[in-house]
A and B are shown apart, each in its own frame.
Chain A
Amino acid sequence: MFISLVRNELEKTWRSRWIVFAVLGGLFLLIAGGLYTYYVFSQHRWSPPPAVAWQTTLHSEIASNQQSIAQLEAIKQQQGTSGGSFRGGFSIDDAIARAKQAIADDQYLLDNNIAPLQSFSLTLAALFGLGGIFMFLLIRIFGWLASEQIAGERSDRTIAILLSRPMSRDQLLLAKAVASFLISLAVVVATFLIIYAMIAFIAGSIGPVTGQVAIAIDGSKPVGAGNLVVMDIPVFVLMCLGAAMLGVLCVQAMSLLVSAVTGRWAAIGITLALLFGAPLVSAIVTGIITLISGSPDNAHFLNYLFFNVLTPVSSVAPVFGNGPAAAGTGMNEFGAQLATLAAWTIAFFGAAWLVFHRKQETG
């Protein structure tokens, strides 16, 4: 019977909200079309460029950093021994040190034949698609849909029919949660594949789907044998997908909690206010802390306070580049973020279950 309940929920969501999925599909087509048009105009070519090996990219990155160091040294000599400083107290010596660290990091990867994370279309799509603006939008849509699950039935008065049927409230709540999750999983996987196709076109290659990538354990420290996790590409993609889906699940649990208490419009309003409001508050407080302390590193703890559901994937994104990344990046941070998100998710589901179990439907 549980499968029948899930099927009912899937059918209801699709039949009542198919227009949302149609608009999403249209939006993706527009974005893909826009990107392709931009590509054609900016690159003066209709077809993708030839693929570049990651070793070549790292060699050119090293060359570029060496050139930067030479220029910075020249500036330093012109300005005297102090070396001067850039705006914000960032000294030329700091910039030289960071460029040297970046060269050392790249050289380590070349010497050990470990590919950096951003080398393949597949891993780039995982970082960009599952930790970026697309998920930001999708998570809010999933929150809206989940907030209607119980509240919508209450507004349509069909909740009375459902609850008077021979099933427990636990079964109904679980069926609604599972159906919401399955729909979001399908949309996220489809989104990921579309983004992968777009990135592969721009990079000129779909890249290997086997092989290994490396991620720093602590992104703020130099890359080295003790500060790297090496994993298969599919494992990395699944890890990102899992983290993104945990974020989705967390939002759905919160939305179900709101949905268990109120009617349709109140549930949608409260859910969207929370989903848009929490990151906004987080951003404002981060800005204030950064202004006072002079470093954004001091504000990354806010991710734990406001359930910023994109941070797990984002925390593994900027682990390579020109020098060590900011605090709050790397596999350690990823694990901590996942644990926080899991705690939020369990708390929300537990509260939703408790409320729905005791809720009196007065009609």
Chain B
Amino acid sequence: MAPIVEVDRLSKHFGRVRAVNEISFSVAEGEVFGFLGPNGAGKTTTIRILLGLLHADGGTARIGGHDCWTDHANAARQFGSTLEQPALYGFLSGRDNLRQFARILGRVDEAHISELLDLVGMTERADDKVKRYSMGMRQRVALAQGMLGKPRLLILDEPTNGLDPNGIHGLRVLLRKLATEQGMTIFFSSHLLSEVEELCDRVVVLHRGEVKAAGPLDELMTTKGFKYRIDVSDVDQALEILRALDGVAAEPGTIKDSITVTSPTDQARIINQALVSAGVGVDQLVHTQKGLEDVYMELTGATPGSTLSSPPPPQPTAAARR
């Protein structure tokens, strides 16, 4: 499939702060693409460049072959978008908001607007003023706004903000449906790893303005090694034994009397033998695939089990370093 989004050595600085530093990636038509990264990684800056709100300092960003800044109108015909904070006119109803944005696209198709409102579950409250909506309801109407005109590409920046569990589940089902039934490309930016893991075909992990990993999700997770959960009779002794083994990393598990072990190669039998021969009781050894969270933690340098960390400090530009 030809890429619908092409980002090539894209850079953006804000004064001395380097928000995005020569990142490159592409999104193929029809795929559900995950855009991951912690706060301050440069996700929103990249999206704003794609939407034509910011001008890149270097590199190019193209949608459907059109430059996002110099050929904005043509690029914008390819996509719909929702931003982190749902942006709507509070003094208008949800339906009138959609009419406003539909007019910019050409004409107001009332049947299409009703269909979108139904799709996001807002038919009953469609004629109420947006200022009376909850955050989740605003997010739903914003999503309908993004889908106006049936775009080829839907760019979603943290679309699950404010949605309840039912809403998140509904969004996931809807996005899958849009991708499979209508062939719509989904560009899904989120920090909710479970959502990305369940929804996306391919991801890019961004950290401190740089691409740390990119590729199909299953490939990304398997290439990063093996992971086991082992329930043992003595956690401290087990950790001591396993940490002595080559290439094995062991940490106390989140469940009582369990440890989490990771290894670049499959060492399940060796681990089991080492524990049993040292007299440590092994209740069970479960071979688990490494989750996206583990991969993400490794890539972004966060420690598993650590509490909230502060956002990364601003990265000075090369000029500022000099």
Hey, which bits of chain A sit against chain B, CB under 8 A?
1, 4-5, 7-8, 11-12, 15-16, 156-158, 160-168, 358, 360-363
Contacts and interface: CB of A to CB of B under 8 A. Distances in A.
Given A15-B92, A165-B105, A166-B105, A160 B53 contact: yes
A209 B76 CA distance: 53
Given A5-B104, A160-B53, A362-B14, A16 B91 contact: yes
Interface of B: 14, 44, 48, 51-55, 72-74, 76-77, 79, 81, 83-85, 87-92, 96, 100-101, 103-106, 145
8 contacts: A1-B104, A156-B89, A157-B85, A160-B51, A166-B74, A168-B72, A358-B55, A363-B83
A158 B89 contact: yes
B108 to A, nearest CB: 9
Given A12-B89, A166-B74, A161 B145 contact: yes
Contacts of A5: 103-104
Contacts of A360: 53-55
B55 A166 contact: no
Contact of B53 (A156, A164, A167): A164
Contacts of A11: 100
Given A12-B100, A163-B52, A164-B79, 14 more contacts: A12-B89, A12-B92, A15-B96, A156-B89, A157-B83, A160-B48, A160-B87, A162-B104, A165-B76, A166-B104, A168-B72, A360-B53, A360-B55, A363-B44
A361 B92 contact: no
Nearest to B85: A157
B53 A8 contact: no
Contacts of B83: 157, 160-161, 363
A360 B57 CA distance: 12
Contacts of A166: 72-74, 76-77, 104-105
Q: Which 7 residue pairs across A and B have the least CB separation, nearest first? A: A164-B51, A157-B87, A166-B76, A361-B53, A4-B103, A166-B77, A16-B91
A168 B73 CA distance: 6
A167 B73 contact: yes
Contacts of A157: 83, 85, 87
Contacts of B89: 12, 15-16, 156, 158
Contacts of A160: 48, 51, 53, 83, 87
A361 B77 CA distance: 20
Contacts of A12: 89, 92, 100
A158 B87 contact: yes
Contacts of A8: 100, 103-104
A156 B97 CA distance: 13
Nearest to B79: A164
Contacts of A156: 87, 89-90
Q: Which residue, of B54, B74, B83, B100, has the highest number of chain A Cβ atoms within 10 A?
A: B100
A163 B51 contact: yes
Nearest to B75: A166
B36 to A, nearest CB: 20
Nearest to B129: A15
Contacts of B54: 360-362
Contacts of B76: 164-167
A37 B252 CA distance: 89
A323 B232 CA distance: 111
Contacts of B84: 363
